[in-house]
Structure 1
Amino acid sequence: MGELLTTPSQTVGPYLSIGLPWEDGPFVVPEGTEGAFWIRGTVTDGAGEVVPDALIETWQADPQGGFDHPDDPRGRAESGFRAFGRCPTDENGEYRILTLLPGVLPGEQGQQARHIDVSVFARGLLNRVVTRIYFEDQDNSGDAVLASVPAERRDTLVAKKTEDGYRFDVRLQGKGETVFFAL
């Protein structure tokens, strides 16, 4: 019998397919909702190559700072507001989420700036990575989480204004890597 070759190391395998396909996953709010805008971006790896099989999930407060969750003591979120978005990247590594600007939230160290929590699932990752989206045209100065990030890296957490919303690119590693948080 011949010698068996060692199987090459893989993190999650060469044929990764993440998540449950969900047709209206990118819609935190229905199309046509007043004040709705798109967050669009590209997910890239450490070499700057697009990641065509990543999955972006978002979780956020409604414009009044309420969550669509029974444990939120402030009551139900706005009608039609789901709070959760999910979008796989396409062959160009691009994703899109239709949402509303989240409200300011109370925090342990004062008010938290308007932000969206983001989970990224991708090949090469054994676990999701978690980050936040802040908005360049909003007051982020008092946010303790953003202030804890070195000043030279904060821009990786700030979405840039576009014609129909905001742009937030995710760099998984390397120069310009998006800041990710430990949970």
Structure 2
Amino acid sequence: MSNRLRQTPSQTLGPFFAYGLTARQYGYDFDQLADGRIVRDDTKGTRIRVTGQVFDGAGALIEDALIEVWQADADGRYPDAAAFADCNAFHGFGRSGTGADPACRFGFDTIKPGGHDGQAPHLNVVVTMRGLLLHLFTRIYFADEAAANEADPVLALVPQARRNTLIARLVQPGLYRFDIRMQGDDETVFFDV
């Protein structure tokens, strides 16, 4: 009898269904709640693009990760329900998969968020991918906000030697690069939320 009883396979999060979460990014002709374009033509603020890749512990690209960001507007305010109802307004939420791009990149067209409650400008990030039992939370801070980053109370909770894993580097004006490393020497700091 003991030979017939086996452990139930564990369930993991993902792979996510592109046609339901990032339909247009993958070429499906369906509507979707959000994509990588968070900013609209009339949104107030400095336009930026944040792009990056997700790597596993061996340094290989992860081609089926889903990255979501939530952010404040240029004045440091988070959108309310009315903003989400108006699809032409800045709604502060974006979603991008890594598999539609041959280089497995995610990308967000947005504005530089304002700081709030003593916190430096940042994007809140959720990472979902195969192999995770739960999604992970992290943040993206900006390299050109050094003084604000130094005073940020959340970033101050992270050991100094690991803070660089939360800083997007400025590649050129308006373009930031932020890679997510799931494990290894430069593993991105994830928060227990």
Q: Which residue of 2 aligns with 1:173?
A: 183
Worse overlay, 114-123 or 162-171 = 162-171
SS in 2 for 1:175: coil
Q: Which residue of 1 aligns with 2:38?
A: 28
Worse overlay, 86-95 or 168-177 = 86-95
Tell me, yes or no, if structure 1 residue 135 matches structure 2 residue 134. no
Counterpart residue type for residue 21 of structure 1: T
What is the distance in 2 between the residues matched to 1:26 and 1:54?
14
TM-score normalised to structure 2 length = 0.78
Worse overlay, 164-173 or 50-59 = 164-173
Q: CA deviation at 1:151?
A: 0.6
1:47-126 superposed matches below 5 A: 47-70=58-81, 80-90=89-99, 91-106=102-117, 111-126=118-133
Q: Which residue of 1 aligns with 2:29?
A: none
TM-score normalised to structure 1 length = 0.82
Q: CA deviation at 1:115?
A: 0.7
Structure 1: 5+ residue stretches without partners = 72-78
Asked whether the 8 Å contact 1:44–1:93 carries over to 2, the reply is: no
Q: Deviations over 1:142-166 (max 9, x none)?
A: 1011011011100000000012410
Counterpart residue type for residue 120 of structure 2: A
Worse overlay, 23-32 or 173-182 = 23-32
What is the distance in 2 between the residues matched to 1:182 and 1:9?
25
State the number of aligned residues.
Answer: 169
- Which of structure 1's runs of 4+ aligned residues deviate more than 4 A? 3-11, 31-34
* Residue 56 of structure 2, aligned match among 24, 45, 49: 45
Asked whether the 8 Å contact 2:68–2:93 carries over to 1, the reply is: yes
Counterpart residue type for residue 74 of structure 2: P
Identity score, percent: 40
Distance 1:63 1:57, change over 3 A: same
